[in-house]
Structure 1
């Protein structure tokens, strides 16, 4: 007898996983910004940007968009919001 996973169970797992991702991101942000010295702030910002860019990159990669175009889209997105 095979073990079957219902779609609702799979949805609950994915939702729980995304909630843990967001909580871990918030805890990481608070920890890095509170503990880091002035020298480590650029490094903490780079790590935080990595956590923000990777989900966007994987989503666009699933849409079969070329890598150069994905990098350009992410650059425009952050350029628009950082300036």
Structure 2
């Protein structure tokens, strides 16, 4: 049995953020997404979840906070999760 909560979602955020092409604001968007994931961890929302789904949700929120027009379909293509999974996270 493999536990997904052992994998830290923070490890994937910068890689996914660079693939989403935020330009000069890539680091800022990644930092915001990292803070969101850390908050999820503090509230124990992350346990039992695959890290890519959490990263995708955090990046989608962070992109919108930084006024980037990324859709959930853009995130799904990079993160490789289903759109319904992204919505649930």
What TM-score do you get using the length of structure 1 for normalisation? 0.36
Structure showing the higher helix proportion among its residues: 1
Give the TM-score normalised by structure 2: 0.34
